């Protein structure tokens, strides 16, 4: 792969049904020039982290197709898991890899967010470098209240979505689309139920 490259790391709210996960990840590989790098499902979190890379336009097309398929197959009214979440396609960050700036990547993220909101009717917030205001930059703030608090959140003027309807969709919830740097995440299992000890280690 040469020229401009970006990575997309969508997280979907399904980590237990292998058939559903496969149907969603299969659409990524229908886009020429996009390479699916990793699919990492989690049973406890009931969440799958997907990673693919390619030229910006192709990656955005693959991300759009993935969003559409996730909205078709995942029902948030039935979702439980040990990870913060508020949507079927929970987050969809774009990451600059080569030959492209963060600001250019953010522009692609906003364009993707608008398309998902307009064409799929999904509720979309932009975060990190694609955020439309400082209070929306941090993902934890955008996702605060999670799926269960989303209906009330959408009723507040300050949390009107960036794209898509400001109306609670019980099936799909909401999605955060952003541009960010590479993120290294890992889990540590502790032989304790003490949140104080876990926070001290963190």
Q: State the catalytic residues.
A: 83
Which 3 state secondary structure label does DSSP give 113? helix
Neighbours of 93 (CB within 10 A): 24
Supply φ then ψ for residue 90, to 5 degrees.
-75, -55
Q: Return d(Cα 197, Cα 106) in angstroms, integer.
A: 37
Strand partners, 173: 87
> Is there a contact between 122 and 98 (Cβ–Cβ < 8 Å)?
no
- Structural element, H or E, at residue 69: helix 56-73
Residue 67's closest CA among 102, 104, 109? 109
> What is the distance of C-alpha 163 from the center of its chain?
15
- What is the spatial distance between Cα 68 and Cα 30, in angstroms, rounded to a whole number? 13
């Amino acid at each position: 792969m040469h020229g401009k490259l970006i990575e997309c790391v969508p997280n979907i709210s399904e980590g237990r049904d292998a058939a559903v996960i496969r149907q969603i990840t299969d659409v990524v590989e229908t886009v020429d020039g996009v390479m699916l790098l990793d699919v990492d499902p989690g049973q406890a979190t009931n969440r799958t982290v997907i990673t693919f890379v390619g030229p910006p336009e192709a990656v955005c097309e693959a991300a759009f197709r993935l969003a559409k398929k996730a909205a078709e197959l995942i029902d948030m009214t039935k979702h439980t898991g040990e990870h913060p979440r508020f949507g079927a396609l929970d987050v969809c960050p774009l990451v600059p890899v080569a030959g492209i700036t963060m600001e250019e990547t953010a522009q692609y993220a906003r364009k993707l967010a608008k398309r998902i909101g307009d064409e799929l009717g999904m509720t979309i917030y932009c975060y990190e470098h694609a955020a439309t205001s400082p209070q929306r930059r941090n993902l934890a703030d955008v996702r605060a209240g999670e799926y269960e608090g989303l209906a009330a959140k959408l009723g507040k003027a300050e949390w009107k979505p960036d794209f898509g309807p400001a109306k609670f969709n019980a099936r799909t919830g909401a999605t955060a689309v952003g541009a960010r740097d590479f993120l290294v995440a890992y889990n540590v299992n502790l032989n304790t139920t003490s949140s104080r000890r876990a926070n001290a280690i963190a």
